[in-house]
Amino acid sequence: MDVLTQIRKPVEREMKDFESLFSITLQHQNPLLTTALQHIMSRKGKLMRPILILLAAKKYGVVNEAVLHAAVSLEMLHTASLVHDDVVDESGERRGQSSLNALMDNKAAVLVGDYLLSTSLQHAAMAGNLRVVELVARLGQTLSDGELQQLSNVQSDEISENQYFEVIRSKTASLFAVCAEVGALLSGASEEEIRRLGEFGTHVGICFQIRDDVFDYYDTEVGKPTGNDMKEGKLTLPVIHAVMQPGAETWRGLALKVRAGRATEDEIKSLVDFTKRSGGIEYARQKMDEIRDCGLAFIGQDGNAEVGEALRLYMDFVLKRVS
């Protein structure tokens, strides 16, 4: 049995219910919207966020209809954010396939993203809990704030880990945190249990993003060009650590040039090579291990033991994921 199957095992039946509801939600009579939604469905990935919601719900209770609607809501919000991100980044690919804006155009992609966002709020309301609606709405604000922080960093001369972690907490970790909180909330968990699972989700999300950033330095593992993040002007944890070391002032200047979008391909390649030579990858992996250990402590020994073990496997899967 592979790791993902083990993780899904405590909620396998409930995941089928989720996938059925999610599929129904993506059906529409408008031909253009249908084409767009079918394209999105074809790249739905491993559904890590819905799995987390259902596991969080089952740790202290059961997966009820409200939990399923909340899972659809948050997966819709996540999908909408990806569609809009591709437009902002002018990206032509997503998970090895054409992005929606490349398949159609920016105008259509923005409108489809708006449709998904509205559908997300509709299902949040169908969960029947005002606090869920508030959490989903605030999450939408946080995701947008993270994108804006990243854009504003382009104009800054500062390069720091704090800056990096602020962005990924907003852009990535916040979604995992809310997934865990909402699942626990709707299954009747206590405020302390909700808080702890939210903290676990935050740590999962931070590890998820660091791991994704590390992948960018190894194109053979994921099939995307080495230095793709730098080509988009993004400075991630490995390069930040490398250029902030004593004596790396020249490289720090090149990193600022990369972030401003003024670096050549040769300059980007040289900065990637410097990052690898200077221990940036090893540092990022060490940081992930520290965050993992801290995050696992929030699972606790209470509640459903099988789910607790699945959550531990979930964290390790995130650290070792291959796609």
Q: What is the pLDDT of residue 93?
A: 56
- Of the pLDDT bands very low, low, confident and very high (cuts 50, 70, 90), residue 85 is confident
pTM of the predicted structure, to 2 decimals: 0.91
Phi, psi of 299 (to 5 degrees): -70, -40
- Of the candidates 168, 269, 160, 151, the one whose C-alpha atom is nearest the C-alpha of residue 210 is 168
Alpha helices in the chain (DSSP H): 3-8, 12-25, 31-41, 48-60, 65-89, 100-103, 106-126, 130-153, 161-168, 174-186, 191-215, 219-222, 228-231, 237-243, 249-259, 265-277, 280-296, 305-320
Q: What is the pLDDT of residue 156?
A: 84
Total count of domains within the chain: 1
At residue 304, what is the residue type?
A: N
pLDDT value at 224 more than 70: no
**CATH code of 263's domain:** 1.10.600.10
Domain with 163 in it: 3-320
Q: What is the pLDDT of residue 222?
A: 45
Strand partners, 97: 94
Residue-wise pLDDT tens digits, 196-216: 999 999 999 999 999 999 988
